[in-house]
Amino acid sequence: MPTRVLYWFRTDLRLHDSPALKAALDLNPEVFLDCQNAVSDGLSQLNSKSRLLVVRESPLTILPKLFKAWNISHLVFEKDTDSYARRRDDEVVSKAKEVGVECIIKSGRTLWDSDDIVGINGGPTMTTTQLQKAGQKLGPPPRPIPTPTPIPAPGDLSLKHVTQGHPGPEYFNADQNQLNRSSEDSTYHSGLRGPNGDFSVPTMEELKMAASTPHRGGEKIALEILEKIINDKQFTATFSKPDTAPTAFQPASTCLLSPHMHFGSISCRKFYWVVLDVIEQWEKSGKKATEPPCSLTGQLFFRDMYFAAQAGIGTYFGQTLHNPKVRYIPWHLPSKHQPNPDDPTKSLLVKGTYNVDNKEAEEWFLRWREGRTGFPWIDAIMIQLKTEGWVHHLARHAVACFLTRGGCYIDWERGAEVFEEWLLDHEIACNAGNWQWLSCTAFFSQFMRIYSPITFPQKTDKEGNYVRHYIPQLKNFPEKYIYEPWKCPIADQRAAGCVIGKDYPKPMFDWKDRKEICIRGMKAAFEAGYHGSDVDVINGKAREILKERFGNDIEGDADTASKNEPGEQKGKAKPETRPRASQSGSVKLPVKRGQTTLDAMFVRKKVKPEDETIPPPPNPIVKRGNPDLSEIIDEIINATKAAKSRLEGDHHDIRKRQDSTSSTSTVTSTHTHTSISTFSQTTTSTELEQTETSTATSTSTVSTSTVLATVTATGTPNGVGRVSPSDPQAVMVAGWISLVYLTAMVLKLVKVVNY
Ligand SMILES: Cc1cc2nc3c(=O)[nH]c(=O)nc-3n(C[C@H](O)[C@H](O)[C@H](O)COP(=O)(O)OP(=O)(O)OC[C@H]3O[C@@H](n4cnc5c(N)ncnc54)[C@H](O)[C@@H]3O)c2cc1C
């Protein structure tokens, strides 16, 4: 049998440094069928007969058909450790085995294979120190491999006797992006080969969507961005994340490469090594470079840490329930759950819908989501996110903190779903992980550090240029009131052409009050010490038990918040599991030794991400039987530093640093993004239908195939395969955005938003 290799593109839309693609070509295929996109042009350059083939059907059903129709001997793809992807891939591999197709899977999405990191670390990595230690044991990440030289052309691509599988009549009713389309999507129903019969990448027109982002995609553009970054040796070698301005736009103050990392149009190993090479040269010339975790390489470690955390925890990484690492907080708008079809022990998975336990909280959530909170800094970020699909890391900090522990006391899972829908760079691992960090439910625990929606942006943008850009109503507002417009005298409001309450909303609550309420709730929840895998949480009793013990404090209730200190137990009931906190009422604030957090970096650098009015953290109490005194010492040091930082807050100095950083950054980015204007996570149907895009390539000749997958949340896969109810959300969103992204890359249909 001739070697006919089907290369399946998924998380690796590139030709450079692709270990999986290399493995495919190392088979010396007679025929190489590839399935991909911006890659399409690259493939054509390597062989004019080659291009991306997009096959419109679920990978689970179409791949077995392609094995037969194209006489495939090998299937090769990059390893994907997302839990839904593991399940999908396991099924594909077993179907391939059944028909004698050999599967080759290579790691290439992260610096190190996340499963190897988990093995060496002995579990999920919850700190970058753990990641780096495990990485050291594995040795440095492999150096990038070169782009392949000419590849064989695709052979016969006929699909005789192959019919398209259809997901069923309910498909369009359950299309979660339906609201983002001007009319019904026509690409799937145009057949396996698409409307022109040539396996073309779907166009925006076929998808009935319009792009609104200025960012553009594709390997060529990604490599150009990277080139620009490393040509600026100072920027690259002295990059320090805490010094970059979240308010900088056009250009941004960081690399803006994360969407390319998501689509795999840049290799993270290439990114890592070219940066490291610049740093080495810089240091050889006697100059000091920054180090992880602040440095650029440090940022890549954060990414790998989240991937290895997800790989270690598995299915429950993206939710609180059943997750042993995530602290349980009885937030408002908790998720609804449904049975995990893959788990005989009857565990539950988030459904993508939520319980409205508090109407006011829901109103806050909807206003947050749409950028109508009345806090211009928060609203500008949400508007940028929604229209452009990317915002700076610290801007993400600000809105995530505001929604959860720093204002609304709403479940982080709600925020993660909105980010999942709108981010161009959405990764389940990085998104859920960062939301857990910001909500202080995992990775980070210093809940007293709260970002002020008023003073934080002033540090880098006193004039409010960022706000004026994204909220044109406030364009002419006086600088003094740009972050607190409700305080502006009415005459000045009229003169600026923006009356608060009429042209721009009043603030939805008194933020300082809310902040105190949230801190009380967090204190109580930390004292209780519940985690997602605790029995009371799994049985759904934890909220009531905590309410009995702590009163309404525990739910961040604005009206009836208890005045009792968290340590004063109100009821008889007491959590049965993990009573971690001291009985004195003081809250232990664990700070992992050796783990430097971004927030801690601010403290060290005397920058204050948190509001100045925050009281210092309570004194840590050394508990009997707590052997780790170093943690306590760290806490004391941190608390002292925080207090010192509050006293010494050096805005001007920081601003100078940030200005110089952003002026040296000439980074521009070019991705495409569909402006998705509706909340797609509220599907209530258990027959939830998902659509996924993926890409595959086959060869000795090259062809590409993107596959539209339809799966059900019920485990009734329409002949497609089972995917857990939580994961299809990601499959769906990431999938469609990928498709939109790819399409837009090809068509260059970029509609710059008219702000
Ligand atoms: C609530 C929240 C949600 C987030 N969701 C995502 C997500 O879905 N996908 C995603 O890639 N990043 C996510 N991040 C992390 C981070 O905000 C982005 O990776 C970063 O802003 C990308 O911009 P950049 O390329 O300019 O980053 P740079 O600062 O230039 O960093 C270079 C690269 O390092 C990686 N990186 C940097 N910081 C982080 C981090 N904290 N976690 C993981 N990777 C990091 C990215 O791949 C990035 O491209 C999230 C952060 C928060 C606070």
The answer to whether 500 touches 486, Cβ cutoff 8 Å, is yes
245 alpha carbon to ligand 1 midpoint, in Å?
14
Q: Is 432 in the pocket of ligand 1 (CB under 6 A)?
A: no
Strands 74-78 and 102-106: parallel
32 alpha carbon to ligand 1 midpoint, in Å?
34
Pairwise pLDDT comparison (295 vs 594), residue with the higher score: 295
Q: Ligand 1: which atom is nearest the Cα of residue 241?
A: 29
pLDDT at 167: 65
**What's the domain range around 38?**
4-109+151-168+689-747
Structurally, the chain folds into a number of domains equal to 1
Per-residue b or e along 116-130, where b marks 16 or more CB atoms closer than 10 Å to that residue's CB: bbbbbbeebbbbbbb
pLDDT at 38: 55
Is residue 729 domain-resident? yes
365 alpha carbon to ligand 1 midpoint, in Å?
23
Is residue 533 domain-resident? no
396 alpha carbon to ligand 1 midpoint, in Å?
9
Is residue 737 domain-resident? yes
Most confident of 18-32, 38-52, 57-71, 103-117: 103-117
Evaluated on CA atoms 445, 449, 454, 455, the torsion sign reads negative
Q: What are phi and psi of 206, to 5 degrees?
A: -65, -35
Which of 336, 320, 340 lies closest to 724, judged by CA? 340
What's the pLDDT tens digit per position in 38-85? 566 666 677 677 667 788 888 889 999 999 999 999 999 999 999 889
> What Å distances lie between residue 742 and 132, 198, 267, CA to CA?
34, 16, 17
Pairwise pLDDT comparison (692 vs 535), residue with the higher score: 535
Q: Residue 623 above 90 pLDDT?
A: no
The answer to whether 5 touches 66, Cβ cutoff 8 Å, is no
Q: Is 304 in the pocket of ligand 1 (CB under 6 A)?
A: no
The whole-angstrom separation of Cα 84 and Cα 142 is 27
Q: Is 671 in the pocket of ligand 1 (CB under 6 A)?
A: no
Q: Residue 597 above 50 pLDDT?
A: no
The answer to whether 329 touches 439, Cβ cutoff 8 Å, is yes
Q: Is 257 in the pocket of ligand 1 (CB under 6 A)?
A: yes
Q: What mean pLDDT comes out for the span 514-531? A: 96
pLDDT at 48: 73
Contacts of 177 (CB under 8 A, 6+ apart): 185, 209, 676, 680, 691, 732, 736
pLDDT at 470: 98
pLDDT at 51: 65
Pairwise pLDDT comparison (597 vs 57), residue with the higher score: 57
Most confident of 25-39, 440-454, 636-650: 440-454
Q: Residue 646 above 60 pLDDT?
A: no
User: Is residue 566 reached through a cis peptide bond, with omega within 30 degrees of 0 on the bond before it?
Assistant: no
Q: Residue 190 above 60 pLDDT?
A: yes
pLDDT at 579: 34
The answer to whether 77 touches 105, Cβ cutoff 8 Å, is yes
- Of the pLDDT bands very low, low, confident and very high (cuts 50, 70, 90), residue 565 is very low
Q: Find the Cα–Cα–Cα–Cα dihedral 717, 722, 726, 731, rounded to 10°.
A: -80
pLDDT at 353: 93
Q: Whose CA is nearest to atom 5 of ligand 1?
A: 431
Q: What mean pLDDT comes out for the span 399-415? A: 98
- Of the pLDDT bands very low, low, confident and very high (cuts 50, 70, 90), residue 678 is very low
Q: Ligand 1: which atom is nearest the Cα of residue 435?
A: 1
425 alpha carbon to ligand 1 midpoint, in Å?
8
Q: What mean pLDDT comes out for the span 139-158? A: 88
Q: Is 329 in the pocket of ligand 1 (CB under 6 A)?
A: no
Is residue 16 domain-resident? yes
CATH of the domain at 694: 3.40.50.620
Q: Percentage of residues in the chain with pLDDT exceeding 90? A: 54
Q: Is 412 in the pocket of ligand 1 (CB under 6 A)?
A: no
pLDDT at 562: 40
Choosing from 393, 413, 597 the residue with most ligand 1 atoms within 8 A of its CB, the one to mutate for a pocket test is: 393
pLDDT at 169: 54
- Of the pLDDT bands very low, low, confident and very high (cuts 50, 70, 90), residue 603 is very low
Q: Find the Cα–Cα–Cα–Cα dihedral 540, 545, 550, 552, rounded to 10°.
A: 50
Contacts of 132 (CB under 8 A, 6+ apart): 292, 301
502 alpha carbon to ligand 1 midpoint, in Å?
36
Is residue 87 domain-resident? yes
436 alpha carbon to ligand 1 midpoint, in Å?
14
Pairwise pLDDT comparison (566 vs 515), residue with the higher score: 515
- Of the pLDDT bands very low, low, confident and very high (cuts 50, 70, 90), residue 592 is very low
pLDDT at 236: 98
> What Å distances lie between residue 490 and 454, 482, 507, 620, 744, CA to CA?
20, 14, 16, 47, 45
Look at 184-188, 489-493, 679-683 and tell me which has the smallest mean pLDDT. Answer: 679-683
Look at 85-99, 229-243, 268-282, 582-596 and tell me which has the smallest mean pLDDT. Answer: 582-596
Q: Residue 131 above 80 pLDDT?
A: yes
Q: What mean pLDDT comes out for the span 312-341? A: 96
Is residue 622 domain-resident? no
pLDDT at 572: 33
What's the pLDDT tens digit per position in 250-299? 999 999 999 999 989 999 999 999 999 999 999 999 999 999 999 999 99
Q: Whose CA is nearest to atom 29 of ligand 1?
A: 254
Can you point out the beta strands (E) in 282-344? 335-339
Is residue 706 domain-resident? yes
Q: What mean pLDDT comes out for the span 571-592? A: 34
Q: Ligand 1: which atom is nearest the Cα of residue 400?
A: 1
pTM for the full predicted model: 0.79
Look at 13-22, 471-480, 684-693 and tell me which has the smallest mean pLDDT. Answer: 684-693
Is residue 665 domain-resident? no
Look at 179-188, 361-370, 583-592, 740-749 and tell me which has the smallest mean pLDDT. Answer: 740-749
